[in-house]
Amino acid sequence: MFPLESDEAKREYDELARILFDNDRMTVGTHRALCSYAKQFDAIVGAGKAKRVIRGTAFVQLDKARAALKIDDIGQRIAAPKDAPENKFARVGFAARRLRQV
């Protein structure tokens, strides 16, 4: 609906659209809310790249737009990027740091 300028915003839109679609939540109203969220996300990314001051109200509006999508109700896990290294202790329940001897 709105043209997005940053790759980050396009990626965010695609990820959220896929989650909504896969969970049968993509409606005309949801798509409108998603476009609004993505455009606000794009504006924040653009301001950051241009080294402009980002007001706190921009994040409040972004949070409200995301809440309107009700993605947290879906309960889908967010995966790490495909190229992220796996923590060697992740599957055995230990932290990846040494404990300090007292």
Segments making up each domain of the chain, as ranges: 7-73
Torsion over CA of 3, 7, 8 and 14, rounded to 10 degrees? 70
Distance CA 7, CA 11 (A): 6
Among 15, 10, 17, 47, smallest CA distance to 32 is for: 17
Bigger pLDDT: 57 or 88?
57
Alpha helices (H) along 1-55? 7-22, 28-49
pTM: 0.69
Say what the pLDDT of residue 87 is.
64
Distance CA 16, CA 89 (A): 30
Say what the pLDDT of residue 9 is.
92
